[in-house]
């Protein structure tokens, strides 16, 4: 992880499979704040993803690389890797990307891939973080932004924020509250990365704000 200031503006890619509300939050924040980075590429595995539409509306290059069960994983990774290299990407943000990245791809972009997860990790890993926390009956859940390593929802944690679950609240209301927090937390984490303000020691992420 860079711990010396590297002033080069970061080129950000966002991987998204669905609605893309987090993608939108990062795009908007990067346009309105000086985060030393720009979203230059959006990749999806789903041609119908609303995320792709959002990217096109902001004149951001997009590509859809669907995962074809008949083609090999190596071939699929090769296509993604090539797309990332062609665009000179410094940071990959996963934002509701529904495919698992392969260990080789993760190793290739070590400490350059971050993810947002809708729970306070390490609780409620997996696809249904909001629903699982709600069904479990916890009183506090939240949002985590973390680096991606080979294990699911496991890498070093950059930011976390709690979200209270009040009595009588529905799962839908909780979902809305979680998304509201996500849309603030993810752009902040991206800003730290782009300004070279993150340093990983063991699995602890230090935030060294420069101004
Ligand atoms: C978010 O809840 C995020 O935490 C999870 O997937 C969801 C994506 O939502 N990883 P959106 O597509 O950004 O609206």
pLDDT in tens, 163-194: 999 999 999 999 999 999 999 999 999 999 99
Ligand 1 centroid from CA 182, angstroms: 8
- What global pTM score does this model have? 0.95
β-pairing, 140-147 vs 91-94, is: unpaired
Q: What is the mean pLDDT of residues 24-33?
A: 97
Asked whether the predicted pLDDT for residue 3 surpasses 80, the reply is no
Burial class (CB in 10 A: 0-12, 13-18, 19+), 4: exposed
Nearest atom within ligand 1 for CA of residue 118: 4
Ligand 1 centroid from CA 145, angstroms: 11
Q: Which of 95, 101, 152, 186 to mutate to test the pocket of ligand 1 (most atoms within 8 A of CB)?
A: 95
pLDDT band, very low/low/confident/very high, at 6 (cuts 50, 70, 90) = low
Residue 22 CA to residue 16 CA, distance in Å, equals 9
The pLDDT tens digits for 43-81 are 999 999 999 999 999 999 999 999 988 878 888 999 999
**What percent of the chain shows pLDDT beyond 90?**
91
The candidate with the shortest Cα–Cα distance to 195, out of 91, 103, 105, 106, is 91
Q: How many residues does the chain have?
A: 211
Ligand 1 centroid from CA 99, angstroms: 13
Nearest atom within ligand 1 for CA of residue 25: 13
Q: Is the CB of 19 under 6 A from ligand 1?
A: yes
The pLDDT tens digits for 72-105 are 888 899 999 999 999 999 999 999 999 999 999 9
* Chain mean pLDDT for the chain: 95
Residue nearest atom 6 of ligand 1, based on CA coordinates: 96
Tokens of 79: 């296509």
> What is the longest distance spanned by two Cα atoms in the chain?
51
**What percent of the chain shows pLDDT beyond 70?**
97
Ligand 1 centroid from CA 96, angstroms: 4
CB 156 within 8 A of CB 204: yes
Q: Is the CB of 118 under 6 A from ligand 1?
A: yes
Q: Is 117 a catalytic residue?
A: yes
Report the pLDDT value the prediction gives residue 5, as an integer from 0 to 100: 55
Q: Is the CB of 182 under 6 A from ligand 1?
A: yes
Q: Is the CB of 117 under 6 A from ligand 1?
A: yes
Report the pLDDT value the prediction gives residue 109, as an integer from 0 to 100: 96
CB 146 within 8 A of CB 155: yes
């Amino acid at each position: 992880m860079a711990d010396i200031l590297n002033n080069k503006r970061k080129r950000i890619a966002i991987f998204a499979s669905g609605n893309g509300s987090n993608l939108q939050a990062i795009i908007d924040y990067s346009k309105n704040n000086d985060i030393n980075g720009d979203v230059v590429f959006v990749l999806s595995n789903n041609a119908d993803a609303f995320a792709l539409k959002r990217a096109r509306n902001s004149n951001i290059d997009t590509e859809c690389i669907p995962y074809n069960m008949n083609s090999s994983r190596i071939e699929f990774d090769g296509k993604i890797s090539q797309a990332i290299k062609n665009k000179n990407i410094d940071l990959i943000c996963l934002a509701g990307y529904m495919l698992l990245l392969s260990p080789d791809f993760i190793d290739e972009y070590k400490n350059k891939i971050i993810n947002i997860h809708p729970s306070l990790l390490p609780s409620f890993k997996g696809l249904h973080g909001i629903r699982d926390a709600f069904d479990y009956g916890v009183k506090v859940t939240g949002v985590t932004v973390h680096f991606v390593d080979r294990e699911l929802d496991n890498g070093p944690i950059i930011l976390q924020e709690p979200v209270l679950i009040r009595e009588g609240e529905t799962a839908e209301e909780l979902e809305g509250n979680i998304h509201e927090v996500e849309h603030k937390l993810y752009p902040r984490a991206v800003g730290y990365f782009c300004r070279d303000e993150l340093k990983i020691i063991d699995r602890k992420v230090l935030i060294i704000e420069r101004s």
